[in-house]
Amino acid sequence: MEPQILVSPDKYSIVKIDQGELVSFLKNKEELIHQKGEPGWRNSDTEMFPVIGPTEAADFTVVTPKGKAIQDQHGLLRELTYNLMESGEHFAVFQKDYAANTSVKNSKFPEKSPKEKLSWPYDFRFKKLFELSNDSLKITFEIEAGKGMPFMLGYHPAFKLSGDKSEICKTKTQEVSLQKILEGGSTAFPALNSQEIKLIKNKGYNLSIKTKGFDNFMLWTEVPNMLCIEPITAYPYSKGEQPLSEKLFCVSNGEDSFEVVITPFKDPLINSVYL
C-alpha cells in the first residue's frame, strides 16, 4: 500500500498516512508528529483496543461474557493490518476486520511477552477516518461489534517537541509540565475528566486536541523530544484498581463512534508567558 498524502484546501497543511498510521502532519512546513527513528518510540501513532494498559498482572487474560481472551498490553488491534477503503485529496478511510476467536501472532513474543498468540471472542470491524481541513485534522474511529461486547479504546499519537523540556499540557482544571511527565517514567500521567487538552510550546505551533467519546487523556514520554497525548475511554493505572477491572470497560451498542480533532494554533497571549 502506497502512503496516502492529504492536502488541505488552502495547501498549507499536508498529512502523510502510511498503512493507516499518521506519520506526518505539516503545518506551514512545521512537522508536528514524532518521526520514526528519532529517540522515544518506534511508531508515530497507533490504537489501543480492546484493552488499554498492561495485562501481565492479570496473566494476560481478559474475562468477557463470551469467555476468557488472551491479550497483551494495549490489545490485539495493533497486530492487525489496515486496508485502505477509500481516499481523496482531503480524506482517507482505513479498516481492520477481526473474526471471533481467530489467533493473532503477538509481535512481542518471545522477547517481551510469554504469549505467542492473542485472541478475542467477538467479531469486530474497526474503521479509522482521516479528514484534513484548513484548520485541523479530524480522526474518527467507528467500531462495529456485537451488542454487549466489552471494550476499552485509546488513541496513541506521538507529537514532536523541542527537546528543551519547556512544553506544558493544559486542560480546564490541570496544568502539567513535561518534566513532571518525564518523572512519571513508564506509567502514563493521567489528565482525567476532560475532552480537550492543549500542548503549549515556547516556539512554533501549539496544539489543541479535542475529543468526543473518550473523556480522558494520559500523557507519556521518557525522552524530551516527543510526547504521546493519548485520548482514552478509561485510565488503567489508578491506585487500588484491580487489573482489567470490569468497570474500566465500555459496552458496545453495535455501532460506536469516537472522534479526535488536532488543531495547530498560535496565540500570542498564551505563548508570551513562555517566551
**Whether residue 114 has pLDDT greater than 80:** yes
Would you say the pTM of this structure is higher than 0.75?
A: yes
- The greatest distance separating any two alpha carbons of the chain, rounded to the nearest whole angstrom, comes to 55
Q: How far apart are CA 25 and CA 82, in angstroms?
A: 20
What is the pLDDT of the chain when averaged over all its residues?
A: 94
Q: Does domain 4-271 have CATH number 2.70.98.10?
A: yes
pLDDT score for 57: 87
**Whether residue 10 has pLDDT greater than 70:** yes
In tens, the pLDDT along 129-186 reads: 999 999 999 999 999 999 999 999 999 999 999 999 999 999 999 999 999 999 987 7
pLDDT score for 273: 45
Residue 220, judged by CB atoms within 10 A of its CB (0-12, 13-18, 19+), counts as buried
Query: What are the CB-based long-range contacts (under 8 Å, 24+) for 80-83?
Result: 80/104, 80/126, 81/19, 82/19, 82/20, 82/128
Spell out the domain ranges in the chain: 4-271
Q: Are 52 and 152 in contact (CB under 8 A)?
A: yes
- Reduced to 3 states (helix: H, G, I; strand: E, B; else coil), residue 57 is helix
In tens, the pLDDT along 212-266 reads: 999 999 999 999 999 999 999 999 988 777 778 889 999 999 999 999 999 999 9
In tens, the pLDDT along 222-231 reads: 999 999 999 9
